[in-house]
Amino acid sequence: MAALTQVAETSGRSSEYWSKLVQSKPELKAHLTPRHSEYWPHTPTPKQHAFLCLNCREAFYGGAAGGGKSDALLMAALQYVDVPGYAAIIFRRTYADLVLPEALMDRAQEWLQPTDARWNDKAKSWVFPSGATLTFGYLDAEKDKFRYQSAAFQYIAFDELTQFSETQYRYLFSRRRRLKGVDIPMRTRSASNPGDQGHEWVKQRFVVGGRAEGRVFIRAMLDDNPYLDTAEYSKTLDELDPVTRQRLKDGDWDVALEGNLFKQHWFEIVPEQPTGLRLVRYWDLASTKKTADNDPDWTAGAKLGHNGKGIYYVCDVRREQEDPGAVEALVRQTAEIDGPGVAIWMEQEPGSSGKNTIATYARLLAGYNFRGVRSTGSKVERANPFSAQAKAENVKLVQGPWIGEYLDELCAFPEGGHDDQVDASSGAFGRLVSAPQTATIQLVDPVRI
């Protein structure tokens, strides 16, 4: 009955419906019994049981910490290791994550070392008597996904999926293939707690819109794992801040993602830009075009103004994920729209390449008040003064189509996936309030052309 309850949760039908159906059609019982592996060290929990029965293309086991998610991924990987030619891979974001105590490689070592499986340390793979393999991989940088472009797997899994980018996840679908006539299901499986940089895309793909697209979401809770001392672990989770506690203890995907520096209610939205403001536009540059396989940094340009009475206005934000030529066109066009009365600043990267970039833009923006600036300190340190004024409700936002994504990024900072609009805003604010020379922001000498 416990297994039927979990099947009911993932299908949208009641347990009673499935119970009556199985009684009327006993042949269905086989479909509610997962393919067993002799390498499993323990019996699956009811939710793991449901997860291991699935034959859909994508499934996600997500929610509270301690719900048995990693075990579920590893058990699913082992279901077909008796079949010649079967290949499985499980990813963590970094190699350091893989080798942590009690992490996946350590757990696999504990499970498989006493068996007839053999470890290949160079390949980070377990090889089974059938010739099947279970490999462990990582995708530390976005481009690391291309290291697997010649590989083929029938099972691909991601542990702590919210630490990965959506483009990394989607690219690995291209590595999922099998030989004609081989009777092995093609599966992508993942597990994660709520939170981290990929929270929003994972939530949308599985929790919100998964069922309509045939993606199964199994909600894991702390009490679902009978092998864990849940009472003691629950006390540990109670020490966390409220948002993290709701995510890890309650498996809550809806609790608001907020960083430590900005809160949405601090910002009043005003209908138009006041007159008489001292205005600056600050650019944080990037130069990579977004494709289906990458999610690069944005070029962001924030225009801020000061009314001379302690109130600051974020008047406009422009941003693009484009190649250098398109970025130059955006910066030039924005200068023309802002007009010569708006001072233009741009962060100068260290070294000769940074100097060359500023020289290029000095020529491009001839006739405008343009300078480069070298910044020191961390992104958080540079954002602190802007955050302090926002908290004091001295920062207003001028109504515009950019506000939604702007507030999302600010309120997620520094936990979110991108921080380019934060950097641009911090830079613009710094130019409005700083003297020409300060300890944290140094002017670059005007470029001589």
Q: What digits encode the pLDDT tens for the residues 17-65?
A: 445 544 555 544 445 678 999 999 988 888 888 899 988 899 999 876 7
Domain covering 34-250: architecture? 3-Layer(aba) Sandwich (3.40)
Query: DSSP assignment, residue 294?
Result: B
Whether 321 has a pLDDT exceeding 70, the answer reads yes
Nearest 5°: the CA angle 344, 375, 276 is: 35
Q: In angstroms, what CA-CA distances link 352 with 19, 327, 361, 366?
A: 71, 20, 14, 21
pLDDT digits (tens, 9 = 90+) for 236-283: 666 665 667 767 666 677 766 555 689 989 999 999 999 999 999 999
- Looking at residue 193, its pLDDT comes to 84
pLDDT digits (tens, 9 = 90+) for 387-446: 999 999 999 999 998 998 899 889 888 877 789 999 999 999 999 997 443 333 334 444
pLDDT digits (tens, 9 = 90+) for 349-398: 888 888 899 999 999 999 999 999 987 788 888 899 999 999 999 999 99
Tell me the C-alpha distance between 102 and 123, whole Å. 20
Q: Where along the chain do its domains lie? A: 34-250, 264-443
How do strand 370-375 and strand 343-347 relate by DSSP bridges?
parallel
Which among 27, 30, 32, 33 is positioned nearest to 15, based on CA atoms? 32
Place of tokens 């997500």: 62
Note whether 128 and 115 are within 8 A (CB).
Answer: no
Note whether 8 and 14 are within 8 A (CB).
Answer: yes
Q: Is 372 exposed, middle or buried (0-12, 13-18, 19+ CB in 10 A)?
A: buried
Tell me the C-alpha distance between 301 and 307, whole Å. 20
- Write down the pTM of the prediction: 0.57
- Looking at residue 196, its pLDDT comes to 77
The predicted model gives 159-163 an average pLDDT of 91
Six-digit token string for 418: 């991108």
Tell me the C-alpha distance between 318 and 335, whole Å. 11
Same fold, 34-250 and 264-443: no
Judged by phi (left if over 0) then psi (alpha if -120 to 50, else beta), residue 360 lies in: alpha
Which among 56, 94, 50 is positioned nearest to 196, based on CA atoms? 94
CATH of domain 264-443: 3.30.420.280
Whether 6 has a pLDDT exceeding 50, the answer reads no
Neighbours of 377 (CB within 10 A): 12
Which among 105, 95, 89 is positioned nearest to 156, based on CA atoms? 89
